Each structure stands twice: as structure tokens, then as C-alpha cells.
Amino acid sequence: MAVRDKAPQGLSKAVPALEPVPVPGCSVCESAHADRDPARAEGRILTALSCNGVIAGHPHQMEGAK
Ligand SMILES: [Zn+2]
């Protein structure tokens, strides 16, 4: 158990496991998620990261907050 809170090296083709999860029913999330998977599969990591930023970076209205 010598794992540190740092991504292991050698995963240059993989997006880190910190990916934001798209919110079901959110068109912005779904659009970014639809772009992210093929981008990652094709090695377009910057595009995949950009999609992560989109998913993580826009607000969601909390259902059930009323
Ligand atoms: Zn969303």
C-alpha cells in the first residue's frame, strides 16, 4: 500500500480516473460525454480533457432542492 495520491506514470493514453461523471438528462453533459469517448479512443487526449472540463464546469440545477 505505497500508493500516493498521484496518478501512476505510464498512463499517457488513458484519461485519469478523475473524470467527471455526466449528469443524466443534461444535454450539455451528454454532448460532452458523447465526444469524450471517441476522442479518448482515438488518442485525442486534449479533446477528452476538454470534454471533462465541460462536464465539470457548468452548473446543474439540483432536482429535489425544493
Ligand atoms: Zn451537465
Q: Which three cell numbers stand for residue 48?
A: 477528452
- Near ion ligand 1, which residues have CB within 5 Å? 23, 26, 28-29
Residue 5 pLDDT:
67
Residue 1 pLDDT:
65
Q: Are 28 and 61 in contact (CB under 8 A)?
A: no
Of 65, 56, 64, the closest CA to residue 23 belongs to 56
Residue 33 Cα to ligand 1 midpoint, Å, equals: 10
Residue 19 pLDDT:
83
Residue 44 pLDDT:
96
Residue 9 Cα to ligand 1 midpoint, Å, equals: 30
Q: What is the pLDDT of residues 1-59, one digit of tens each?
A: 665 666 555 545 554 556 899 999 999 999 999 999 999 999 999 999 999 999 999 99
Of 15, 20, 18, 16, the closest CA to residue 56 belongs to 20
Q: What is the DSSP letter of 18?
A: T
Residue 55 pLDDT:
94
